């Protein structure tokens, strides 16, 4: 398996996670590419070489910390690493579960609404992220920016089918078909067709503004939410906050057909706390649990989640969760529970 620690808190949480995973004795070896980062990009103009890509391709999966640097302002860097990997391996299904880890971590006032246990299924290769567009009359007062919001029948059908395949009971499709004309009607058509293909599951629909409101007022109503790239990006930070924060939010970018996956926490490089040794490693530990689950190392995945739950229950956590442990100490606390 390839490991891309990345930038900012990425290397901190990845190092801590690997030290926890060592205790599991799982049949996995790690090929760590720590030279893929923002400083390499600044030096050479590219971060991911063809050689790196070949090493990644020969592995079974990728575990990634986070990529991004406040000094690199345009989208080219993140596009050349993170978004490139998602496209290169056609990782169209971004699976972002959110389950409240401890009642006291919920921001909601009403205890009966706190028990969120849902998954955001985000389309991961199309939408506003497709890079189609450009600037007209750039650097003039008439500058006009166009970023095409691409939806294809192929792309929308397959992500909705994936959402049904991971749901036990119900899927809610979220779009903005009341305002976004062509994409809206394509999502609606794919949705109707998919609902007919999956009569055993309950299918519902919400506009994204209402979905955001309902996720906050009663997240217990949701099981699987399927949506486009941008709405999925935003709603998965929202559900992360409901489940205890970005420090706990796991994510996997998958191609269900090839089985290849990029396992990356929901959070970014957190420049505000990078280098302080206080980043929460649990999102990456739980992301590794998603990886183990996909590799059918179910006992290891369960052990990791139980150990995380126990460490949280004992308050053996980093400051974002109200504890006073460092990144390494928090990872060691999980390891001690294994
Ligand atoms: P962020 O997720 O990095 O941080 C948002 C807030 O959450 C910050 O206050 C941060 O301190 C906190 N936070 C995040 N992860 C945490 C953790 N593990 N423990 C404790 N606190 C944590 O989002 P941002 O500040 O908007 O973005 C920073 C950079 O990261 C940008 O360059 C952005 O593009 C990039 N980014 C990368 C990824 C990725 O590689 N998958 C994801 C999101 C953002
Ligand atoms: C995420 C991140 C990325 C995204 C950024 C860094 C491009 O926010 O993985 O959620 O929007 O996909
Ligand atoms: Mn995001």
**Tens place of pLDDT per residue across the chain (338 aa):** 999 999 999 999 999 999 999 999 888 899 999 999 999 999 999 999 999 999 999 999 999 999 999 999 789 999 999 999 999 999 999 999 999 999 999 999 999 999 999 999 999 999 999 999 999 999 999 999 999 999 999 999 999 999 999 999 999 999 999 999 999 999 999 999 999 999 999 999 999 999 999 999 999 999 999 999 999 999 999 999 999 999 999 999 999 999 999 999 999 999 999 999 999 999 999 999 999 999 999 999 999 999 999 999 999 999 999 999 999 999 999 999 99
Distance 335 CA to ligand 2 centre (A): 29
* 121 backbone dihedrals φ, ψ, rounded to 5°: -105, 110
**Ligand 1, pocket-test mutation among 8, 250, 267, 318, most atoms within 8 A of CB:** 267
Ligand 2 atom at minimum distance from 75 CA: 7
Domains of the chain by start residue, with CATH: 1-92+250-338 (3.40.718.10), 107-242 (3.40.718.10)
pLDDT of residue 84: 96
Ligand 2 atom at minimum distance from 68 CA: 6
What is the residue with the minimal CA distance to atom 3 of ligand 2? Answer: 233
Say if ligand 1 is within 6 A of residue 267 CB: yes
* Catalytic residue ranges: 129, 176, 209, 233, 237
Say if ligand 1 is within 6 A of residue 245 CB: no
Say if ligand 2 is within 6 A of residue 64 CB: no
The ligand minimizing its distance to the Cα of 67 is 1
Say if ligand 1 is within 6 A of residue 82 CB: yes
pLDDT of residue 28: 87
Distance 140 CA to ligand 3 centre (A): 31
Say if ligand 2 is within 6 A of residue 265 CB: no
């Amino acid at each position: 398996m390839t490991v891309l620690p990345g930038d900012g808190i990425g290397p901190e949480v990845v190092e801590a996670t690997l030290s926890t995973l060592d205790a599991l004795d799982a049949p996995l070896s790690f090929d760590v590419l720590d030279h893929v980062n923002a400083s390499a990009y600044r030096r050479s103009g590219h971060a991911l070489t063809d050689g790196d890509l070949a090493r990644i391709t020969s592995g079974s999966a990728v575990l990634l910390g986070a990529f991004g640097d406040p000094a690199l302002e345009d989208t080219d860097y993140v596009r050349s690493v993170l978004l490139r990997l998602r496209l290169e391996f056609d990782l169209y299904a971004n699976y972002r579960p959110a389950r409240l880890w401890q009642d006291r971590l919920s921001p909601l006032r009403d205890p009966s609404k706190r028990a969120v246990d849902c998954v955001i299924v985000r389309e991961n290769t199309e939408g506003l992220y497709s890079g189609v567009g450009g600037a007209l009359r750039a650097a003039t007062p008439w500058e006009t920016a166009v970023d095409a919001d691409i939806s294809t029948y192929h792309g929308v059908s397959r992500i909705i089918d994936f959402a049904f395949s991971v749901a036990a009971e119900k899927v809610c499709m979220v779009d903005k078909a009341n305002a976004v004309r062509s994409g809206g009607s394509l999502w609606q058509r794919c949705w109707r067709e998919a609902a007919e293909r999956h009569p055993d599951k309950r299918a519902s629909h919400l506009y994204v503004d209402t979905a955001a409101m309902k996720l906050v007022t009663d997240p217990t109503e949701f099981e699987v939410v399927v949506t486009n790239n941008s709405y999925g990006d935003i709603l998965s930070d929202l559900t992360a906050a409901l489940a205890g924060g970005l420090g706990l939010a796991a994510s996997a970018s998958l191609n269900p057909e090839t089985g290849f996956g990029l396992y990356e926490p929901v959070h970014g490089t957190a420049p505000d706390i990078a280098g302080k040794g206080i980043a929460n490693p649990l999102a990456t530990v739980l992301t590794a649990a998603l990886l183990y689950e996909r590799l059918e190392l179910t006992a290891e995945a369960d052990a990791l989640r139980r150990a995380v739950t126990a460490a949280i229950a004992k308050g053996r956590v980093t400051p974002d969760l109200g504890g006073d442990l460092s990144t390494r100490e928090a990872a060691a606390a999980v390891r001690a529970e294994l």
